[in-house]
Amino acid sequence: MDLHFGDSKPTDEERAAVDALLGPAESSWEGADRSDADLRWARGGRAARDRRDLLLPGLHALNDRVGWISEGALDYLCRRLTVPPAEAYGVATFYAMFSVRPRPATVLHVCTDLACTAAGAGELCAGIEARLGPGSGVGVERGPCLGLCERAPAALAIRAGDPVRTAVSAPATVEAAVAAATAPDAAPGEPPAAAAVPQAGQEGLVLLRRVGVVDPASLDDYRAHGGYTALRRAFELGPAGVIREVTDSGLVGRGGAAFPTGRKWQATASHPDRPHYLVCNADESEPGTFKDRVLMEGDPFALVEAITIASYAISAQRAFVYIRGEYPRAVDRMRHAVDQARARGLLGGDILGQGYSLDIEIRRGAGAYICGEETALFNSIEGYRGEPRSKPPFPVDQGLFGRPTVENNVETLVNVLPILTLGAPAYAATGTAGSTGPKLFCVSGSVARPGVYEVPFGATLGEVLEQAGVRPRLRAVLLGGAAGGFVRPDELDLPLTFEGTREAGTTLGSGVVLAFDDTVPLPRLLLRIAEFFREESCGQCVPCRVGTVRQEEALRRIAGRTGAGAADDIALLREVGRAMRDASICGLGQTAWNAVESAIDRLGAYE
């Protein structure tokens, strides 16, 4: 390819940001000053193109340092990686956290999603905007779920610079959020991850047993609390033995699709193509979900160990953890854990002297719900727009970089540890026949003690809500997040299992239990859900790109209307929703109508 670059040049700072990631440019082919030697050799080509997966980290480097991505900066990054500027521009404009227009160095992201809206995010935003006003040097951006639902309403301040500074304010007040944005270094620290686990320290916990008990920064402490016994057992069993245990345990994916994990691993492990990859999906962006954040912040070494075991089982030597960009603390903790593990020989060339080598790379998302879709996540890592791919081919055949890949989410992987330490039969004894093991639920909204709860599969919705101290006058519970569905207060005996929810015509999804009392205006909530899907649609296929817009328009029209006044638009919504479910490429479009439909059918939202 013959790339064309315009005349725009990077500033010194932009150049430094890119060079800090990629090393200095070596020739004029890569954007350095021209030397005599450059006339006699060429750089770039395939070797540089093979590093295209550094495009997203490169965009982050610029955005972190300067706060936005200028033409000169983007062109320089493109020269370095041999990426066509048009494509890089397409990637940069795909993500909500990047800007290709100048903007203030400090951006305050205020969550306006379900739990935060119910907790008054609207007034909070208005207050912040009024207080900061123009000329404050802070850009205020209303945005989707920040994954801090247990502390709603939430705000995240990001100040570009070297290094980039972040500060979280949750539960946020106008004063606290403004203080975090204007002086992120002086902002009070976040509460420990254990604060999001009301059960912390309780006996009998499996997945959460170390959160709040162990020092998340200390590998020694992790080992003192049983860390790395599962990996030793894995090495005793061998890859096939690990897969057998996982298969026998009955573990199914916790990200929402509930696919049998053992079968996925087996299919990849036995695939003749090499190399194999393991991808940990930590892009938890479902509004109402924050369990993966709590696990990564509270027990990061557990995830590192689980990834090591999974990679060993499928004979992958390179694993990726893709963490959503809105989780700065989780990114830091995971980076630290990976570095520690590498320094101590628990990652790298010869793990525990077993001759097995693995490295884990942490990748940061940049504000795109769709990247939680497994194939969109591959595209995002590879440096393309985070658009989902058509399946088939499935990731076990052609996943990351076109190679056989296992993608599991954080909670799924962390389950592998007890499976190996307890053994498959003991693990499978928890839960029900169809849904084995413990399950994490993110309970938020109208409850006294919001947070991550671990219960054995089979507990009822009412039991989980009771633990969290559900407030009186419950109006509705959203199960599974924005892509899930509402259930009524008289359905609290619903068993929280895959088969139980399926039977009841709803879904566990990603484990969201979002309670709403009767003070929350339902139509506004539904409108927010529709707005969310319209904003987060990647735009690739017509049913989702236009359908989500038409859905939001119809909900706006009927806001405040009921009965016959809303009937026409509800009929329209049903028709569009059915086509979106049937004809969209990926789960985003296919589920974008679920919650609204359930609100109409189960709650009688517009009657």
Partner 1 sequence: MTAIPIGVPRRLVEFTLDGRETRVPEGSTVLDACRAAGTDVPTLCEGDTLRPKNACRVCVVEVEGSRTLQPACSRRAEPGMVVRTDTERTRHSRKVVLELLASSVDLSTTPRVAGWIKEYEAKPDRFGPDAARLNEEPRVDNELYVRDYGKCILCYKCVDACGDQWQNTFAIAVAGRGFDARIAVEHDAPLTDSACVYCGNCVEVCPTGALSFKSEFDMRAAGTWDESKQTETTTVCAYCGVGCNLTLHVQDNEIVKVTSPHDSPVTHGNLCIKGRFGYQHVQNRG
Residue count, binding to partner 1 (CB under 8 A): 53
CB of 60 to partner 1, least distance (A): 18
Beta-sheet strands, E only, within 35-125? 106-111
- Token output for 96: 């909500």
Identified binder of partner 1 from the candidate list 90, 201, 425, 560, rule CB under 8 A: 90
Quick one: 71 or 499, whose CB is closer to partner 1? 71
Residues in 543-582 at the binding interface with partner 1, rule: CB under 8 A: 543, 545-550, 553-554, 557, 572, 575-576, 578-579, 581-582
Identified binder of partner 1 from the candidate list 86, 126, 240, 433, rule CB under 8 A: 86
From 162, 157, 160, select the one nearest 182 (Cα to Cα).
157
Contact pattern from residue 310 through residue 349 relative to partner 1, giving x for each residue in contact according to CB under 8 A and a dash for the rest: ----------------------------------------
Quick one: 38 or 71, whose CB is closer to partner 1? 71
Where are the alpha helices (H) located in 259-362, listed in sequence order?
Answer: 261-269, 291-298, 300-313, 328-343
Identified binder of partner 1 from the candidate list 444, 534, 592, 606, rule CB under 8 A: 534
User: 341 and 347 in contact (C-beta within 8 Å)?
Assistant: yes
Give the whole-angstrom CA distance, residue 361 versus residue 416: 20
Q: Answer yes or no whether residue 541 interacts with partner 1 by CB under 8 A.
A: yes
CB of 461 to partner 1, least distance (A): 25
Q: Answer yes or no whether residue 11 interacts with partner 1 by CB under 8 A.
A: no
Residues in 26-85 at the binding interface with partner 1, rule: CB under 8 A: 71, 74-75, 84-85
CB of 553 to partner 1, least distance (A): 6
Q: Is 180 helix (H, G, I), strand (E, B) or coil?
A: helix
Amino acid type, 83: V
- List, as one string, the DSSP characters of 463-516: HHHHHTTBPSSEEEEEESSTTSEEE-GGGTT-B-SHHHHHHTT---TTTEEEEE
Q: Is 461 helix (H, G, I), strand (E, B) or coil?
A: helix
Identified binder of partner 1 from the candidate list 28, 317, 460, 590, rule CB under 8 A: 590
Q: Answer yes or no whether residue 535 interacts with partner 1 by CB under 8 A.
A: yes
Identified binder of partner 1 from the candidate list 59, 88, 121, 149, rule CB under 8 A: 88
Give the whole-angstrom CA distance, residue 159 versus residue 434: 47
Identified binder of partner 1 from the candidate list 94, 98, 301, 606, rule CB under 8 A: 94
CB of 316 to partner 1, least distance (A): 27
Element holding 81 (H helix, E strand): helix 71-81
CB of 583 to partner 1, least distance (A): 4
- DSSP secondary structure code for residue 69 in this structure: -
- List CB contacts of 143: < 8 A, sequence separation 6 or more: 96, 109, 110, 111, 112, 367
Q: Answer yes or no whether residue 390 interacts with partner 1 by CB under 8 A.
A: yes
Identified binder of partner 1 from the candidate list 180, 205, 331, 585, rule CB under 8 A: 585
User: 78 and 127 in contact (C-beta within 8 Å)?
Assistant: no
User: 108 and 138 in contact (C-beta within 8 Å)?
Assistant: yes
- List CB contacts of 540: < 8 A, sequence separation 6 or more: 387, 388, 585
- C-alpha angle 494-499-505 in degrees, rounded to nearest 5: 65
Quick one: 368 or 508, whose CB is closer to partner 1? 368
Quick one: 237 or 542, whose CB is closer to partner 1? 542
Stretch near partner 1 under the rule CB under 8 A, chosen from 33-41, 292-300, 404-412, 538-546: 538-546
Amino acid type, 351: I
CB of 496 to partner 1, least distance (A): 23
Bridge partners for 155 per DSSP:
110, 169
- Token output for 5: 């670059």
CB of 606 to partner 1, least distance (A): 17
From 109, 128, 419, select the one nearest 245 (Cα to Cα).
419
Quick one: 201 or 560, whose CB is closer to partner 1? 560
Q: Answer yes or no whether residue 105 interacts with partner 1 by CB under 8 A.
A: no
CB of 21 to partner 1, least distance (A): 21
Q: Answer yes or no whether residue 538 interacts with partner 1 by CB under 8 A.
A: yes
- Token output for 441: 């639920």
Residues in 462-501 at the binding interface with partner 1, rule: CB under 8 A: none
Binding site for partner 1 (CB under 8 A): 1-4, 6, 71, 74-75, 84-90, 93-94, 100, 368, 370, 385, 390, 392, 534-543, 545-550, 553-554, 557, 572, 575-576, 578-579, 581-585, 590
